[in-house]
Amino acid sequence: MSDRFRLFANLATLANALLGVGAILYILAGNKLWAMLLIACGIGFDGLDGIFSRRSVSPSGAFGRVADSVADGVTFGAAPAFLVAVHTGDLSTWQPWMPLAVALGVVYFSAAVARLTYFTAAAYQRPSFLGVPTPQSALAITVVVLFHDTPAFQSVAPIGVLVGTAIVSVMMVVPVPYPKIRRGSPLRWPMALTAVAAAITLVPLQFRPATGSSLYLLSYASAFAFLLGVASYYLVGPFTVRRSPSRSPAP
């Protein structure tokens, strides 16, 4: 009997990668709002991949881990890097900052690849992550772009995007434990509400609502809940990781 959950996991991984490619193409076409929505959808498929993998009767093996990391590298590494580095709107504002934006996009992508490589090679068996995982990093970049680039809920502020990208990049590679969002995790429901807030923020924006309209105000208000949810993972996450009891030295 075939293992349908393994098949579903592989399909979820493929969908995640395709959404990442689509997000990059939308960014190059000048539509960052659609790109951010596709990145958020990619996080959903990444979660489904994990759920199906844990239900599968056959282990994923090295190929499954590599495929998952490649998909994550596209959707949560390359696509957010393009969000930071590529600017087809507000060119007069962004032009002086373009070299630094490209450099930080490369830094972000490099940090994402470094942590995914480490996870695939050695850290996949750990009960927690070391450093902020790439899906949460992609959400953080999305929040930064929403407030300071497109649609610029606060203002078009390149320095805010660049400083935020630098912080997110560093947090991916620092050896600080962060929890895996699974059943029993204290952050499971807060992260679920964060996903809902992300959807409420991003979906109405696809209709390009006028500033001050009902849809715009709905997205604006939900963006703050989105921001708080992402910040809670960064600030509270390390304190929810269960520490292994220290072993007494042998006599």
What is the structure's pLDDT at 60? 66
**The model's pTM:** 0.93
What is the structure's pLDDT at 4? 82
What is the structure's pLDDT at 164? 98
Between CA 218 and CA 223 the distance in angstroms is 8
Give bridge partners of residue 178 from the DSSP assignment: 129
Between CA 93 and CA 63 the distance in angstroms is 44
Who contacts 36 (Cβ-Cβ below 8 Å, separation ≥6)? Answer: 23, 83, 142, 145, 146, 202
What is the structure's pLDDT at 1? 39
Task: Show the domains of the chain with their CATH numbers.
Answer: 4-240 (1.20.120)
Between CA 57 and CA 208 the distance in angstroms is 45
pLDDT tens-place string over residues 61-112 = 677 788 999 999 999 999 999 999 999 888 889 999 999 999 999 999 999 9
Question: At 236, which amino acid appears?
Answer: V
Question: Which residues of the chain fall below pLDDT 50?
Answer: 1, 246-251
pLDDT tens-place string over residues 148-170 = 999 999 999 999 999 999 999 99
What is the structure's pLDDT at 19? 98
What is the structure's pLDDT at 124? 79
Q: What is the largest CA-CA distance in the chain?
A: 72
For tokens 């990059």, name the residue.
Answer: 24
Between CA 71 and CA 212 the distance in angstroms is 37
Cα angle value 84/85/89 (rounded, 5°): 85
Instruction: Kindly tell me the burial class for residue 225, based on how many C-beta atoms sit within 10 Å of its own C-beta (0-12, 13-18, 19 or more).
Output: middle
- Do residues 140 and 190 touch, judged by C-beta distance below 8 A? no
Between CA 248 and CA 251 the distance in angstroms is 9
What is the structure's pLDDT at 245? 53
What is the structure's pLDDT at 71? 96
What is the structure's pLDDT at 251? 42
Between CA 23 and CA 199 the distance in angstroms is 16
